[in-house]
Amino acid sequence: MHKLVVIPGDGIGREVVPVAVEVLEKLLPDLQIVEAEAGWSCFQRGGNAVPEATYQAIRDCSAGIFGAVSSPTGQRVPGYRSAILQLRQGLKLNTSLRPVRSWPGVSPRPGVDLMILRENSEGLYSGREHWESEGVAIAERVISRVACEALARCALDVAKARKARRITLVHKANVLPVTCGLFRDTCREVLEGEGWAAELDERLVDLAALQLVEQPEAFDLIVTSNLFGDILSDLACHWSGGLGLAPSLNWGNGIALAEPVHGSAPDITGSGRANPIAAILSMALLLRYHWQKPALAIRLEAAVENFLREEGKADFGFETTRVVGQGILAVL
């Protein structure tokens, strides 16, 4: 039996997650659903963005989907921190898998098929910020050997599953020689130790960004730190049709949490315009890498591809969530 913790979260997460769960149930008839909550609205109701019961449910089931999180902008709200950051760090989900590939009807360029592996638990997202003095704020960038080693080992697993031809380390060690130097050297040591010396290269992050715009098909598997990976994956997803089609998987410590990249999108919440494909493709990542069911992942991705081949250029307006979900289910 497969168990899945379902956390709709905020905004359009509540609209796309049920569609993705319905699709997954079509592929896994034995799927058992465990409902849980987390997010800004959860914090507003009970003063806790991630209740302990949610952590425990994910630990017990080892798999989940998180829809989206809203965070207040501007002044910090006492006691609140992004729910997804808390889940990544609290559950030691140290790697984020973010694939980018060309899809018919929606991608502006054919032939793109790459994966960005992003360290997911530290870096500038460690939450270590403080005021040094009046008008001077400090954020600490945390890079640890343990997290870099875990990321590199995950890269080996993903490279094997993808039959990757090359791994590219992305950093800024020329300006950040201690933190990025530790990241680069640790990842190199692990990867070269497993026979990847000849197929391993490096890019400074600014050059990598340029080349992802100019020639994205030149990349295969990119391994990078938290903030760099966040920015580069959002940039690269342009080639797969934008954030509405951008999936991800938070992975580590024997646990996987699928998560569409698009965020809570308050401007379209409740309108029916939210595209559920990112959430659906996040389920394919869960199937392939966590549950070790590549055949089902391929079947799901083929259903998305076939739907987009027929309907990719269509504008469903206020019916997007329903029509896309039902269309992919019909193909399955």
The per-residue pLDDT for range 186-208, each reduced to its tens digit, is 999 999 999 999 999 999 999 99
Instruction: List the Cα angle 31/37/41 in 5-degree steps.
Output: 145
234 an active-site residue? yes
Q: What is the pLDDT of residue 74?
A: 64
Q: Taking Cα atoms as reference points, which of 26, 15, 1 lies closest to residue 264? A: 15
Q: Which of 60, 157, 160, 206 is catalytic?
A: 206
Q: Which of 113, 185, 220, 234 is catalytic?
A: 234
Helix, strand, coil percent content, the chain, rounded in steps of 5: 45, 20, 35
Q: What is the pLDDT of residue 160?
A: 95
Q: Which of 10, 125, 289, 293 is catalytic?
A: 125
- Residue burial 62-79, b: 16+ Cβ < 10 Å; e: rest: bbbbbbbbbbeeeeeeee
The two three-digit tokens of residue 54, written as one number? 């949610």
Q: Taking Cα atoms as reference points, which of 290, 322, 279, 274 lies closest to residue 21? A: 279
The two three-digit tokens of residue 253, written as one number? 């410590």
Q: What is the pLDDT of residue 72?
A: 81
Quote the CA–CA distance of 241 and 62 in Å, as a whole number: 30
Q: Which of 172, 267, 289, 315 is catalytic?
A: 172
Fold adopted by 108-240 = Isopropylmalate Dehydrogenase (3.40.718)
Domain ranges of the chain: 1-99+242-332, 108-240
206 an active-site residue? yes
Say whether 196 sits in a helix, a strand or coil.
coil
201 an active-site residue? no
DSSP per residue, 294-305: HHHHHHHHHHHH
Could you say which residues of the chain have pLDDT below 50?
none
Q: Which of 230, 267, 289, 313 is catalytic?
A: 230
Residue 130's H or E segment, with its range, is strand 129-133
Determine contact, residues 96/117, Cβ cutoff 8 Å.
Answer: yes
55 an active-site residue? no
230 an active-site residue? yes
Note whether 1-99+242-332 and 108-240 share their fold: yes
Instruction: List the Cα angle 115/5/79 in 5-degree steps.
Output: 90
CATH architecture of 1-99+242-332: 3-Layer(aba) Sandwich (3.40)
